[in-house]
Amino acid sequence: MRDATPVGLRMLNGEDSRMKLLARLAIGVATMVGSAALTVPSALAGPPTPHCGSNIVCWYGHRDFQGDTSSSNPQTPRECVDLSRFGPVAESVANASDFPQHFWSNKNCTGFSVLVNPGQEIASISFVGLSLGA
């Protein structure tokens, strides 16, 4: 006679192997989530970058951090700054703030954008940046 118990629920060697597997997976996921939660704050820290001072966002008018430079305080959500108010447009950028920032291809924070995370520098964005927003 065939056992009607589903294969996944059968007892093997006195222990339910499916339950053991689920418990191990849960412990593994909890460990990974706990590790990720511990590393997030350090990933968001905005140290000074080689081409930008502390707590500001910088951009250069040419690639490879060449040409005229300008900077701004980091923008908050829903803020948008037309870079022409400060001088050069952005072709290379640095973010020494604690907040992710976007450089946009249009003056009103629309069009193409590039995300620049805290502590990140990009020597050549793929377009001319005309505005800055969060």
6 vs 130, residue with greater confidence: 130
Q: Given this model, what pLDDT does residue 26 score?
A: 46
Distance (Å) of CA 67 to CA 36, 72, 74, 111: 39, 17, 21, 24
Cβ distance 78 to 101 under 8 Å?
Answer: no
pLDDT (tens digit per residue) in 3-44: 554 444 344 444 455 445 444 544 444 444 343 333 333 344
